Amino acid sequence: DIQMTQSPSTLSASVGDRVTITCRASQSVSRWLAWYQQKPGKAPKLLIYQASKLESGVPSRFSGSGSGTEFTLTISSLQTDDFASYYCQQYNSESRTFGQGTKVEIK
């Protein structure tokens, strides 16, 4: 199975900060990489698909980049509503796998 590793596991930041989360795959997933946001007690929400395409309705402060084994999710200017957990997920292999998650906390 393809292993997905996110860093950092926890991130403390302030409103207005630029935030970057990294996701590494144990083997190439091409651009078949999605990012999800999850708030406590809620279902995950798709933010980015195919590594860099923004899901409809998602604010433009979110962006994704990368291909192969290295990917990043960037929030250009952190807003109060963005404090949540974020997960990457590969869908190159039929056995889907998620990263372990990154919790973005208020500094």
Partner 1 sequence: EVQLVESGGGWVQPGGSLRLSCAASGFTFSSYSMNWVRQAPGKGLEWVSKISASSASIYYADAVMGRFTISRDNGKELLYLEMSSLRDEDTAVYYCAKEDYANGMEVWGQGTTVTVSS
CA distance 3 to 66: 16
Residue of 19, 23, 37, 89 interacting with partner 1 (CB under 8 A): 89
- Is 10 a binding residue for partner 1 by CB under 8 A? The answer is no
- Beta carbons within 10 angstroms of residue 37's beta carbon: 21
- Is 95 a binding residue for partner 1 by CB under 8 A? The answer is yes
> Per DSSP, which regions of the chain are E strands?
4-7, 10-13, 19-25, 33-38, 45-49, 53-54, 62-67, 70-75, 85-90, 97-98, 102-106
Q: How far is the CB of 101 from partner 1 (least distance, A)?
A: 4
**17 or 28: whose CB is closer to partner 1?**
28
Pick the stretch among 10-18, 34-42, 61-69, 71-79 that binds partner 1 (CB under 8 A): 34-42
- Is 46 a binding residue for partner 1 by CB under 8 A? The answer is yes
**17 or 72: whose CB is closer to partner 1?**
72
